[in-house]
Structure 1
Amino acid sequence: MSILVKWLESMHEEMNVSTKCSRVQNRKSTCSFCIERCEQNAFEIKDHLLVLDTKKCTMCGECIIACPLSALEGLVSNRVFHNRSLVYDPNYTPEIKELLIYKKRGMTSIQVSKQPLSTAWETVLCDTNEQLQLLDECPIIVVEKVRDEVLSRRSFFGSFQKEGKQLAKKMAPASWKMEKDDWKLTKYYPDFQFFSVELDKDKCTLCQACFSLCKEEVFQLKDGTLQIENNKCVGCLSCAEVCPENAIEILAGISGKSERVENVYQKNCHDCGHSFYSFYAETTKCHVCLNRDPDWLSPY
């Protein structure tokens, strides 16, 4: 066995659920994007945590693409590209999110050879092009495979070197091949938003539970204001699921990026003396004291 083959085999990396998974961060999480996408039923929930059965996993990578937080580590192994085209393969159907990302990476078309696109592929492509129009991008087209040209002797041997490099790149670990958060749409379309964070001020107590769980830093307290940066939202629902007042709703839909700004007041609680924030100047108690039964002893 050659040294190159041994080296490539040593770099083999299996699928892994990282600590970025919302189920690791929040026991109230109901996230199931990867479970719904996996056709091998390789995922299950044990003690609320996501567990991957590596014996069932085929390393197709569908779950990696589906995860809104890029919490799954591994390689998407069955995608083939040629001359800025994604080569059509009826054995899988891409997601709209996936094609939108490939588009920003430089893909311009889907390449077919003998058989036309399946109905599933056509539907995804149509829906993707509708979204690309909203994103001010050119549509993805379908092209026929160009007949391979006869290679000269130099080109023939040169192609081995080129394909060898491509093989090494394809088999390299995810940490080499992919940059951080490569499967987040927000990275590729910073001037747009795919979700809107709707906050009900009448319910919200500014307890900041959502702040601590939102890894995208959608929520910011700055200069006496609460800023909600919708263009950073990836639709993971962590903030809505952790909110004790059910004051947050995430709505899907493409639009130009927007930021909601609400004035807030920093106060000192009349009961416990702790500092807190409120949307209303007349509020005198923090959310803990406000919700505490008056018959209970104060914990402070």
Structure 2
Amino acid sequence: MDMAPFTIQDEKLELEKNDSCSRREIFSLWGKEGKSLVKQVTPAKWRFNHSNLELARYYPDYQFYTVVVDTKKCSLCRVCEALCPKQCFNIADDAFLISPQACSHYQLCSDACPENAITINHQVSKALSTTHETFLNTCEGCDTSFRTLSKHDNKCPVCARRKAGYLHSKA
């Protein structure tokens, strides 16, 4: 940008040749000055109300991210639905709806997903929602009913992760 690099000079720290200061004074000064510097260089989105800067609000017909859920891995645990601040996920009795138009790439959903089934990619496109059908199956291991994205799943997520013979008595 054709500008000279900046330097930080601390007039308080400049000492005459005969002056000295203790470690405590130096670290105390550095701590105070460091906090002041951090406040000055904090990103704008942390200092301002950045909800006004969200593009999805101004372009309701477009989405800026695609949200892909791997239906083979997803156990419908509802973590994504609970954590997404933009409410991009809706798990109902008969469908799993993904609406990425409001997605702003917080990635709480993908970071917290225990199955690592969620991927968020940068991609500008027309706003599209995805619906996956859910099924009510009965677990052959514990005989409880559970929701799944595959009509062929015969074990609930708990029993599917359980090691063979674990917690079963030999009768």
Q: TM-score range by the shorter chain?
A: 0.5 to 0.7
Per the normalisation by structure 2, the TM-score is 0.67
CA drift of 1:288 comes to 1.2
Overall identity of the aligned pairs, in %: 29
- 1:1-300 matched pairs, under 5 angstroms: 54-59=35-40, 62-64=43-45, 72=46, 74-75=47-48, 178=49, 181-222=51-92, 224-297=94-167
Displacement after TM superposition at 1:225 (Å):
0.9
| Structure 1 CA distance for aligned equivalents of residues 40 and 61 of structure 2 | 33
Structure 1 segments of 4 or more deviating over 6 A? none
**Gap change, CA 1:54 and 1:274, over 3 Å in 2:** farther
Unaligned runs of 5+ in 1: 1-52, 65-71, 76-177
Say whether the 8 Å CA contact 2:86–2:103 is kept in structure 1: yes
Bigger RCO of structures 1 and 2 (CA < 8 A, at least 6 apart): 2
CA distance, structure 1, for counterparts of residue 35 and residue 141 of structure 2: 53
Q: 1:4-55, CA deviations, whole angstroms, 9 ceiling, x for partnerless residues?
A: xxxxxxxxxxxxxxxxxxxxxxxxxxxxxxxxxxxxxxxxxxxxxxxxx743
Report the RMSD for the aligned CA atoms in angstroms: 2.4
Deviation at 1:243, TM superposition (A): 2.1
CA distance in structure 2 between the partners assigned to 1:183 and 1:272 by the alignment: 49
Whether the 8 Å CA contact 2:78–2:91 is kept in 1: the answer is: no
Q: Give the SS at the match of 1:204.
A: coil
Tell me the CA shift for residue 223 of structure 1: 5.1
1:269 partner amino acid: C
Structure 1: distance between partners of 2:93 and 2:114:
26
Distance 1:282 1:247, change over 3 A: same
- The aligned length equals 135
Tell me the alpha carbon deviations over residues 229-279 of structure 1, each in whole angstroms, 9 at most, x when there is no partner.
Answer: 010211122222222332221110111100011111123433334442111
Q: Give CA deviations for 1:166-204 in whole Å, capped at 9, x if unaligned.
A: xxxxxxxxxxxx5x8323222222221000011222222
Q: Secondary structure at the match of 2:131?
A: strand
Structure with max Cα Rg: 2
